[in-house]
Amino acid sequence: MPKLVTPVGAVCAMFALNGGLFGVWASRIPAFTAEFALTPGTLGLLLLCLAGGAILSFPVAGRLSDRMGAAALTKGLAPLYVTALCLLAVAPNVPLLAAALALYGALYGALYGAMDVAMNSWGAEVEQARQRHLMSRFHALYSLGAGLGAATGYAAVSLGIAPGLHFLGVGGAATALAWVFARVPWASARAAADEGPRFAIPRGPLLIVGLVALAAAVGEGAMADWSAVFLADVTGTSDALAALGYACFSVAMVVTRLSGPALIATLGPARTAQLSGGFAAAGAALIVWSEGLPVALLGFGLLGAGYATIMPLAFSRAAAGAGRAQGRAIASVATLGYGGMLLGPPLIGALAELVGLRHAFLLLAGLSLLIVLLSNSLQPDRSAGPDPAPGRNAS
């Protein structure tokens, strides 16, 4: 245990916590759907409350991260996540559920903002102090945590445990465990209150970085909602086997993210992004022209491998050269990136109405080629400002 209580271990723990608690919530969505007799349209609007609250909080999250310090803010907000999660379980009706989701979304944005922006800022500081590419590994822990959180939902449903007790028990235990790993001292650089713009919109070179993140995030969002539907409706796969599409995508993403540091160190950020976009484009093409399950699953795996390093590289690029205001730089890229995750499912749905679901997936191939074309934007430009002093927090 002592060897794991390091800055790297602390950031990994917070990424895993964030992913795990989101997986816990996502695994119980069917329970809320049944309890409140939600139609797909109503559920979509409720989820929009959550996502909207998260995105609207990104600007605040970036400024707070810069003013308070990324590490302190990340650790300070972690307990609020469980509180916000439990609010969902006590909502007595749909309007209050919507309010709870909006509040949860705002707090989730203070975590998928302050805990996403802040923990990515903290991760960037650890990267710079260690002088190693680590962001991909941090994001792998998020993906792994989400999978484990979803697995607890399966167990809770099997045992007949109500969502409130499930959220409180698993959320409380996960937060306590993450705190054990996160108790390392870390002094983050802080920015003055009036530094930088108030809104988390990328400007200058970061706009291109944000577009790259957007291109990958649209695909990630589409995979979560449409992979199983595609396999069932287009290739005629059974509902049980259709779940393998997202499983292949997720496993490929986790494995690639775990190997990302070595890959980026060998090839460099720009070349890694270029190859990643190529893999994703090839995966999308295989999915579109697949006639059976094996080829389609290979395509989903290539998409997962292709998207895996893009968001971590985008956050690392946003932090590089941002000086004391890296929280706001990361928040600006996160606004486009997570906005893309929201846009992905409805974009695929709208295109499917026009050209069919199979050909709608060509959008992902086109966006993947955009990643290839804009890959040089992910090469860090350190002329804009100094990094945190190497070794200052390296212990």
pLDDT for 172-213, tens place per residue?
899 888 888 877 766 655 554 444 445 556 677 889 999 999
pLDDT at 270 over 90: yes
How many helices (H) and strands (E) the chain has is answered by 18, 0
What is the spatial distance between Cα 323 and Cα 196, in angstroms, rounded to a whole number? 11
Closest CA to 332 of 60, 15, 52, 47: 60
What is the spatial distance between Cα 158 and Cα 345, in angstroms, rounded to a whole number? 29
Closest CA to 98 of 152, 42, 162: 42
Asked if the domains at 7-181 and 205-380 fall in one CATH topology, the answer is: yes
Q: Which residue has the higher pLDDT, 93 or 10?
A: 10
Residue 392: the pLDDT is 40
Mean of pLDDT values over 349-377: 92
pLDDT for 276-316, tens place per residue?
999 999 999 999 998 888 999 999 999 999 999 999 899 88
What is the spatial distance between Cα 296 and Cα 293, in angstroms, rounded to a whole number? 5
Mean per-residue pLDDT over the chain, rounded = 79
Owner of token pair 């060509």: 362
pLDDT for 21-66, tens place per residue?
877 877 787 777 777 777 766 666 666 666 666 777 777 776 777 7
CATH of domain 7-181: 1.20.1250.20
- Domain segments of the chain: what residues? 7-181, 205-380
Q: Which residue has the higher pLDDT, 97 or 164?
A: 164
Q: What CATH superfamily is the domain 205-380?
A: MFS general substrate transporter like domains (1.20.1250.20)
